[in-house]
Amino acid sequence: MNNQPVLEIRGVNKTIRGKKIIQDLSFEVYPGEVFGFLGPNGAGKTTLIRMIVGLMKMNKGDIVIHGQSIQKSFEGAIKHVGAIVENPEMYKFLSGQNNLVHYARMFPGGIPQSRIDEVVELVGLKNRIKEKVKTYSLGMRQRLGVAQALLHRPSLLILDEPTNGLDPAGIRELRDYLRRLAREEGIAIVVSSHLLSEMELMCDRVAIIQQGKLVDVQDLRGEGAAPKETSYFFEVNDPATAQAVVQEIDPHLHVTPHPNGIELTIGRERAADIGALLIQAGLRLYAMKPLTQSLEDKFLQITGSDQIA
């Protein structure tokens, strides 16, 4: 990962009508990663996105994009940003191509046709780009919106609820595209979504925000050294015998019995050894797997809430 952040949130605070919406929020987003926001209703996610793109002002702190403060040099900072804060609005009676041409003319100096062709290829709309937008599926419209946001070669792409209204196929299509975009183009992507399962599949890191405060950042990449010990579940035909075998091997090892197996907190190599010993003892070992929390489990544990937005 590039060591220089594309986006820096520095001690940001926002109060609306006496209510603290964002409180001392700080984190960084780097090139080539997909970074997600999660939080209960009213946590402040959309408020933060609106402040990043300049639609709202902060009361305290700073937001820095490519080393430039949006307060001191807004134009210099925002030129690096592409964003879809609401659903992408397109002229449905025009083709996808003409929508992009129309949008490209708004930029000072314009955007060449070669760049339009490049982003169309990038989002996978080459075969449909000359058809009218009214014939597009929601997933295709979302991709056209992303193409529009990418025309000026931003290094930071911000998407607020990009999967809204999409069917499962469209959600997967957009997810795979965003991950490829981050990897191949090195763009930093910031996503807000209420779909925890999709965030888990899409994002490299996820910031969990509660009552305007950053309560945790979950790294979902699985990079680096594995933990020395983790919980493993051994699914066997005779849990009681399996427990006895393990306690004979090591009386100090804590065994948690289950109806169809046993659970142990041990290292990876030790887990493999115990699996082999259970088989040698004549037991049928159907499965041996590490027990890891889902993002949803972590979210509910951290926030104590089931209200996600």
Domain ranges of the chain: 7-219, 230-290
CA atoms within 13 Å, Cβ hemisphere of 94:
12
- Tell me what the pLDDT averaged over the chain comes to: 85
Examine the pLDDT at 124 and tell me if it is beyond 90. no
Confidence label for 65 from pLDDT (cuts 50, 70 and 90): very high
Owner of token pair 């001392």? 24
- State how beta strands 205-210 and 255-258 pair: unpaired
Asked whether the beta carbons of 52 and 82 are under 8 A apart, the reply is no
CATH classification (class only), 7-219: alpha beta
Residue 36, SS3?
strand
- pLDDT of amino acid 279: 94
- pLDDT of amino acid 303: 65
Confidence label for 224 from pLDDT (cuts 50, 70 and 90): very low
Secondary element (H or E) of residue 17: none
Examine the pLDDT at 21 and tell me if it is beyond 80. yes
Residues 241, 246, 249, 253, CA torsion sign: negative
CATH classification (class only), 230-290: alpha beta
Asked whether the beta carbons of 199 and 193 are under 8 A apart, the reply is yes
Mean pLDDT of 189-195: 84
